[in-house]
Amino acid sequence: MTATAPFYETKTLAQMTRSEWESLCDGCGRCCTLLLEDEDGAVWRTSLACRLLDLKTVRCGDYANRHARVPGCVKLTPDTVGQLGWMPDTCAYRLIAEGKPLPQWHPLRTGDTGSVIAAGISVKGELISEALVDEDDQEDYITGRVL
Ligand code: SF4
Ligand code: SF4
């Protein structure tokens, strides 16, 4: 008997069901890191987390209402994901959009949501909330350039 290939190897992002789409997120929290854009258009990553990110679970604290509560929270769609150059190169949506396989540590491969942490991909333990930092001081938390 031939094993059926998993959906993430056979479907495009646009072909996935809602639950398949949601399961692609590995929960790394990297896209919830505060990015700063300077006057020249350069984008910088910081060690600050979106104020809605639960730093213990590394999950959004209000996923259903995230776009209403955080206007800068990106709306990922099959059409937009390939255009978001700042998305982490480990992000499953970006990988699938680029025709690449999911990494071996992805929870859909391991069956373990903790594998993203074990692989050192998660931001768990690396960030502090932007809510604790004055907006004028955010530049002090820059860790590197993204774009
Ligand atoms: S970077 Fe991608 S995989 Fe990681 S939390 Fe964000 S959407 Fe999910
Ligand atoms: S609103 Fe939620 S999903 Fe959006 S960036 Fe903030 S923590 Fe992440």
Whether the predicted pLDDT of 124 surpasses 80: yes
Q: Is residue 7 part of a domain?
A: no
13-59: per-residue pLDDT in tens?
Answer: 999 999 999 999 999 999 999 999 999 999 999 999 999 999 999 99
- Among 28, 66, 89, name the best residue to mutate to test ligand 1's pocket (greatest count of ligand atoms within 8 A of Cβ): 28
108-121: per-residue pLDDT in tens?
Answer: 999 999 999 999 99
- Cα separation, 57 vs 96, in Å, equals 25
pLDDT value of position 1: 55
Q: Is residue 50 part of a domain?
A: yes
Total structural domains in the chain? Answer: 1
Whether the predicted pLDDT of 2 surpasses 80: no
Q: Is residue 4 part of a domain?
A: no
Structural domain that includes position 119: 15-145
- Which ligand does the CA of 23 lie closest to? 1
Ligand 2 centre to CA of 140 (Å) is 21
pLDDT value of position 82: 83
> Which stretches does DSSP call E strand in the chain?
33-37, 43-49, 53-54, 59-60, 128-129, 142-145
Q: Is residue 10 part of a domain?
A: no
pLDDT value of position 30: 97
Q: Is residue 139 part of a domain?
A: yes
How many beta carbons lie within 10 A of that of residue 3, not counting itself?
A: 5
The set of residues, in sequence order, having a beta carbon less than 8 Å from that of 80 and lying 6+ positions away, is 74
Ligand 2 centre to CA of 61 (Å) is 8
Q: Is residue 8 part of a domain?
A: no
Ligand 2 centre to CA of 31 (Å) is 8
68-96: per-residue pLDDT in tens?
Answer: 999 999 999 999 998 889 999 999 999 99
Q: Is residue 3 part of a domain?
A: no
Q: Is residue 2 part of a domain?
A: no
